[in-house]
Amino acid sequence: MDTLIKSWAPREIDAVLERVLLTVEKPGRYTGGEHNQVVNDWEAASVRVALAFPDIYELGMSNLGLATLYDILNRRAGILCERAYCPWSDMEAVLRREGLPLYSLETHHPLNEFDLIGISLPYEQLYSNVLNLLDLGGVPVRAADRDAAHPIVLAGGHATYNPDPMADFIDAFAIGEGEEVIVEVARCIEQWKKEHPVLTMKHSERSEAESKSALHGGPHPSTALRSAQDAHRAVEECGFAFALNLKWTLVQSEFGIRPGTAAVPIAIR
């Protein structure tokens, strides 16, 4: 697998989609815009989460676990949460031919531009799909190949109760109910970004910063990364929760889902 490394802006992705979507089966899988979709301000968000289901749109949209997490996260101030699914083989061929990364349905940002990618793994048959999803999203497949600028890849679901088969590819596992820990994970990353703004700078942002640094004679931003190459190493067990970047330990929180109408997208038929 050759991980896509070009930085794509949403407007560039949209321009390609306008040209190619009518050449694939069921283009509505890849457009977003469903009823109850939540589109938050990308620039205003302090932490950006992509919830990914490693199968096609029709199967992922029926997953109530991801729908619940989507609602919980988007109700929290400062958190942006969007969705992504594996493309069907015809759309995957188009993505690879065009060099286009897998993107979120809400704002069409590439997966590698998010701070956290939360992957639902309800059954073991999806293991290989996870690798393909990461590769299409421009994220190094092996956890050891990621640095602090890449998204944290978090997996949960029944097929992660034994994390060993996917340990080389996942940064952290949430063993148990994701609803009880996902907000703490997001806030943990939010705080880490505030304390380490250079380390967590995305590769597309770093290119711009490097240009400015060169212009003004400042230090190269990548010099700080050498001390953070192990930020995405495998996670150590700690009961229900897990240890995350820089040994931050997250514990089970006790809060319920807010009452009221959930803001959950309704699938396009």
Domain membership flag for residue 159:
yes
First to last CA, the chain: 32
Domain membership flag for residue 76:
yes
Domain membership flag for residue 202:
yes
**Domain with 119 in it:** 25-250
Residue 49's alpha-carbon distances to 45, 147, 236, in angstroms, are 10, 17, 22
Specify the DSSP class assigned to residue 6: S
pTM of the model: 0.79
Task: Give buried/exposed letters for 223-235 (b at 16+ CB in 10 A, else e).
Answer: eebeebeebbeeb
Please choose, from the candidates 59, 4, 61, 21, the residue with its C-alpha nearest in 3D space to the C-alpha of residue 267.
61
CB 50 within 8 A of CB 104: yes
Confidence (pLDDT) at 34: 93
C-alpha 209/C-alpha 215 separation (Å) is 10
Domain membership flag for residue 243:
yes
Specify the DSSP class assigned to residue 189: H
pLDDT tens series, the chain, 269 aa = 444 457 899 999 999 999 999 999 999 999 999 999 999 999 999 999 999 999 999 999 999 999 999 999 999 999 999 999 999 999 999 999 999 999 999 999 999 999 999 999 999 999 999 999 999 999 999 999 998 889 999 999 999 999 999 999 999 998 888 888 899 999 999 988 888 887 667 766 666 655 554 555 554 333 333 333 333 333 333 332 333 333 232 323 333 323 334 445 554 43
Q: What is the CATH number of the domain that holds 39?
A: 3.40.50.2300
Q: Length of the chain in residues, anyone?
A: 269
List helix spans (H) across 36-78: 57-60, 64-74
C-alpha 231/C-alpha 173 separation (Å) is 15
Domain membership flag for residue 39:
yes
Confidence (pLDDT) at 208: 62
C-alpha 125/C-alpha 113 separation (Å) is 27
Domain membership flag for residue 207:
yes
Burial of 217 (0-12, 13-18, 19+ CB in 10 A): exposed
Domain membership flag for residue 8:
no
Q: How many domains does the chain have?
A: 1
| Pairing of β 248-250 and β 79-85 | unpaired
Please choose, from the candidates 239, 241, 257, 261, the residue with its C-alpha nearest in 3D space to the C-alpha of residue 249.
241
What is the three-class DSSP state of 171?
coil
| Pairing of β 116-120 and β 152-156 | parallel
Confidence (pLDDT) at 257: 29
Tokens of 75: 């109700």
Domain membership flag for residue 174:
yes
CB 38 within 8 A of CB 74: yes
